[in-house]
Structure 1
């Protein structure tokens, strides 16, 4: 157990903001000894569905893990179940900082469970969001419209670090690296 628990960087923002790309950018560039862990989410989405590197579970597997206390936090959105494993508590207790791809709708629940949580809001213009959502090919036009309307109704929570991701990935990625490295 460390003297001081690590920080939980709770990454949130609208669909299409580029959260997965930014997290992959940072994961690939942070040195192994940086004291930062990137957590995978457990999702009831097939592994080859595109997007983030996640642990794919069937609905039955997810329910069994949830019933047996394998998740520190779980939620449901857009017809899928999402979980963050109990390993987060272990890592934070060891003083490691942890980066997770969270959910705006579960922020209050996450903040109650993880006292060192720092929200990291990643967003982009409506035009950029629309282009990215269309480009990934996972949603229908109606679904994209719904996600864009939903994005317009959310704002960064108080105390959030905010990264606008409309430009080059490397530019915003370097700002994310600086945040995670404490610079």
Structure 2
């Protein structure tokens, strides 16, 4: 039996974490859809419930095989706990925000994977990044200017997050119900 890893990708400030949190709440009664917390080398803050670790602790986790997938971006290290592989192997659906730079690796790591891209205008993204208060205006502008590391990678769903949060969340929830329905039981 195999489940599916659903990668939520898109540029910083597109609203990925907010959409994920809203979908997680909407799907709270679906025990086979799991939303693991990312492991990140930065303090926790508004917008994402993550596991904050030091750079040294992150390196140890990587060395000991405690991460299903990991990457570096914006001067930070990010990872998804290895429990995500166990959940997928057991037939569950795992939903996580990952870098566009790792999506080509996902089929080898998880078997079945799907990609949901979240997009929004650069103007809205810049405003959201600045509002988070984690970086300067110049650093935020650098994030917005970052080129898509996987522009040609096909996606299974694109959410253009320029409407309401409820609309964006409804698209993701509907997609996850569909993915869940096709997983062999």
Q: TM-score, normalised by structure 2?
A: 0.89
Question: Does the aligned pair in 2 maintain the 1:72–1:85 contact within 8 Å?
Answer: yes
Q: Which residue of 2 aligns with 1:126?
A: 122
Query: What are the ranges of 5 or more consecutive residues in structure 1 without an aligned counterpart?
Result: none
Question: Does the aligned pair in 1 maintain the 2:13–2:129 contact within 8 Å?
Answer: yes
Question: Does the aligned pair in 2 maintain the 1:119–1:157 contact within 8 Å?
Answer: no
Superposition deviation, residue 156 in structure 1: 6.2
Pairwise mapping of residues 56-67 of structure 1 onto structure 2 (< 5 A)?
56-67=52-63
- Say what the alpha-carbon RMSD is for the aligned residues: 1.8
SS at match of 1:25: helix
Question: Does the aligned pair in 2 maintain the 1:9–1:119 contact within 8 Å?
Answer: yes
- State how far apart, in whole Å, the 2-side matches of 1:137 and 1:171 are: 26
Q: TM-score, normalised by structure 1?
A: 0.90
Of 43, 50, 57, which aligns to 1:54? 50
- State how far apart, in whole Å, the 1-side matches of 2:150 and 2:109 are: 22
Pairwise mapping of residues 1-183 of structure 1 onto structure 2 (< 5 A)?
3=1, 5-33=2-30, 35-47=32-44, 49-150=45-146, 155=151, 157-182=153-178
Aligned positions, number:
179
Change (3 A) 1:73 1:163: same
Question: Does the aligned pair in 2 maintain the 1:38–1:98 contact within 8 Å?
Answer: yes
Q: Which residue of 1 aligns with 2:183?
A: none
Superposition deviation, residue 178 in structure 1: 0.5
